[in-house]
Amino acid sequence: MREPMHMRTSMRRVRGLGAAHSGTGHFWHQRVTSVAGIPLTIGLLLIITALLGRNHAAVVQILGSPIVAIVLLLFIINTAYHMWIGMQEIILDYVHEEKWKLLSLMANTFFVFAVSLASVYAILKLSFGV
């Protein structure tokens, strides 16, 4: 049987697609989040080092202070997007079967949202009390 005719050119199939169907946007976003990640990672390490050996009450007080909370929130949001793109890239490289690809991409999204929103919630609770 003859293949159905289509008028699409190669350019139409290529434009804006790729394995993730989103073109090179993620490539650039990964660079932006990696640049932002450098000072934020240094900030995270400084905060953790400063909190070593302190008791719960002191840790709660420091984590809830504005500058510390803001740095942590920025780190988590920035990292969430960076790791979501990164894991998607790994999945697209190794998982070729359509069903497993979709399921693992979905799991990636669920994991990133759950972990980052749980962290954000904890920081907000530490900041605003109750």
Partner 1 sequence: MAELEVRTATGTERARPLSPHLQIYKPMLTMVMSIVHRLTGAALYFGMLLLAWWLIAAASGPNAYAGFEWFMGSIIGQLVLFAYTWALLHHMLGGVRHLIWDTVHGFEPAEREMLTLATLIGSITLTLILWVVGYLVMGGPR
Interface ranges with partner 1 (CB under 8 A): 2-3, 10, 31, 34-35, 37-38, 41, 45, 49-50, 52-53, 56-57, 59-60, 63, 72, 76, 79-80, 83, 86-87, 90, 111, 115-116, 118-119, 121-123, 125-126
| Neighbouring C-beta atoms of residue 38, cutoff 10 Å | 9
CB of 100 to partner 1, least distance (A): 17
CB of 82 to partner 1, least distance (A): 9
CB 41 within 8 A of CB 75: yes
Q: Round to whole Å and give the CA distance between 73 and 77.
A: 6
| Neighbouring C-beta atoms of residue 83, cutoff 10 Å | 17
Tell me the torsion sign for CA atoms 79, 46, 57, 52.
positive
Nearer to partner 1, 58 or 102 (CB): 58
CB of 86 to partner 1, least distance (A): 5
